[in-house]
Amino acid sequence: MTVLIDKFSRQVRYVRISVTDRCDFRCVYCMSEEMTFLPRAEVLSLEELSQVARAFTELGVEKIRLTGGEPLVRKGIDELVTDIGALPGLKDFAMTTNGAGLRRHARALREGGMTRLNVSLDSLDPERFKRLTRTGDLAKVIDGIHAAQDAGFERIKLNAVILRGRNDDEILDLVDFAREEQLDISFIEEMPLGDVSDHSRGETFYSSDDVQTSIESRHALIPSPETTLGPSRYFRMPDSDSRVGFISPHSHNFCSTCNRVRVTVEGRLLLCLGNEHSVDLRDTLRRYPGELEPLKDQIIAAMDLKPERHHFSTDGDVQVVRFMNMTGG
């Protein structure tokens, strides 16, 4: 089997595929309050998304994560999950979601072959949650997590972006909630994608080391060698099955072991989250409809474009102009 190796001898084993740029939330670190979304003709069809997933698995990719925007607002998402879930060679099939649609979709996702969920949850205070998401209902998200548990998802992970002065006082509450609900949790440093108007990223930056210090004031953290092929560094607590992870693009750069690429909903293959290196898969998909080999050839060739590292800074400078919802969660 041909596998994907870049110029720095890193094997790409993980692809994140965005199925929509739309979302029913407007999180302050992800997008502006007033967004212009892509016209339907520029968005990959469900068949094209399925074809992209098949091409990657035939090139040795073992893990696929569906992202957005919010993937559960995409019409036909359950059918797409079923198609991808049946692909040979796929060992880990996951989704990042805001959780609001899980009550309606969780069982279909699990029956379609999805094995894991990441649910974004930055606050346990309903009013603060509403401010951070601009439109979100915390009770609906909590209910969605319970629906996913009822559907048989065994590993559900919370993703929390910590912003200084906004929600850094909730770190311990979020950990205790994860412990009570038998969930994993990862804390994420804010990434400088898109020119957000809500806050200054230089002022709100909160490092993973600061989060870890806060947690260790109450819970011992033991480094764990576990991996989900993603960028999280995991820790265990002696008295809980919940894992605590840290995704630290600033303070603990993980570029040297990067095994990931992303496909945006308009079909751009992004070789690095923090750079604009990309190729247009949509043109190939539509020039050779239903043909895998031209698509696979283009993906293989694109590996030479994957840069050695990103250059994120913590001073509030915007390194990449596209918003996170355009990139894929």
Per-residue DSSP letters for 98-166? -STTHHHHHHHHHHTT--EEEEE---SSHHHHHHHHSS--HHHHHHHHHHHHHTT--EEEEEEE--TTT
117 burial (CB, 10 Å; 0-12 / 13-18 / 19+) is: buried
pLDDT in tens, the chain (329 residues): 789 999 999 999 999 999 999 898 777 777 666 667 789 899 999 999 999 999 999 999 999 999 999 999 999 999 999 999 999 999 999 999 999 999 999 999 999 999 999 999 999 999 999 989 988 899 999 999 999 999 999 889 999 999 998 899 999 999 999 999 999 999 998 866 444 445 454 578 899 999 999 999 999 999 999 988 878 899 999 999 999 999 987 655 667 778 899 999 999 999 987 666 789 999 999 999 999 999 999 999 999 999 887 554 444 444 444 455 455 55
The angle, 0 to 180 degrees and rounded to 10, between the axes of the packed helices 126-133 and 138-150 is 100
The predicted-structure confidence for 121-169, as pLDDT tens digits, reads as follows: 999 999 999 989 988 899 999 999 999 999 999 889 999 999 998 899 9
Rg (CA), the chain: 19
pTM for the model stands at: 0.88
What confidence score (pLDDT) does residue 321 get?
Answer: 47
CA distance 75 to 57: 24
The residue among 328, 305, 299 whose CA lies nearest residue 54 is 299
